[in-house]
Structure 1
Amino acid sequence: MLLMLAEYLAGFYTAFNVFQYLTFRAILGTLTALGIGLMVGPWLIRRLERSQVGQQIREDGPVSHYSKAGTPTMGGSLMLVGIAVATLLWGDLASRHVWVVLLTTLAFGAIGG
């Protein structure tokens, strides 16, 4: 999405050509996903704790695992949101390969959730 805007603006100001570099967009995508994780993570953990979506511990398991009872699970959903938003912002949305990888990642995340 932002790549298309940068391509348009590059016609007026050549500094926007830096967005054509895949490594630059990969770094920005990583930082975007990290920022989303840091901002949304605490909110999501509180919400999961309120919903009582916690780790079930087997009674016949090791005693050291009892302290993990009630630990919120589904943290992978936070990763999926970060990946999806970063891809939609910084990816080349005109590329069919980007869509295949994004949708496959989200589908496997839905299966695992």
Structure 2
Amino acid sequence: MSTYWLRGKLADGSDARTDGGDPVLTIFLGGGRDERVYCPDSDEYRVTADVVDKAVDLGANIIAYGSWCDATVEGKLRAKAKGVSVVRYAGLFAFLRNKGVSFWE
């Protein structure tokens, strides 16, 4: 699935501007700030150190995942060491709302 679901939610339910990218979706927040989000695909149902390494290699600075996934301790520690945030979608939406993105769904 990767960023397909997230792209659709942002396009249909918010005023967020994105580049439509896959597997890394760039969200333009204004003021020169962009967030590059990687969403694990269906084979990556756990955010492990390998998933973090892959996301970093692709240029992501946020890994967002759904309630059907989980993040391992190893994955969270690797993300922290590499300066990458690992959050559920709800946390990403709260972050975006805090940065000025409006949601209407």
Question: Larger relative contact order (C-alpha < 8 A, sep ≥ 6)?
Answer: 1
TM over 0.5: no
The two structures have a TM-score, normalised by structure 2, of 0.29
Structure with the larger helix share: 1
Structure with the larger strand share: 2
The two structures have a TM-score, normalised by structure 1, of 0.27
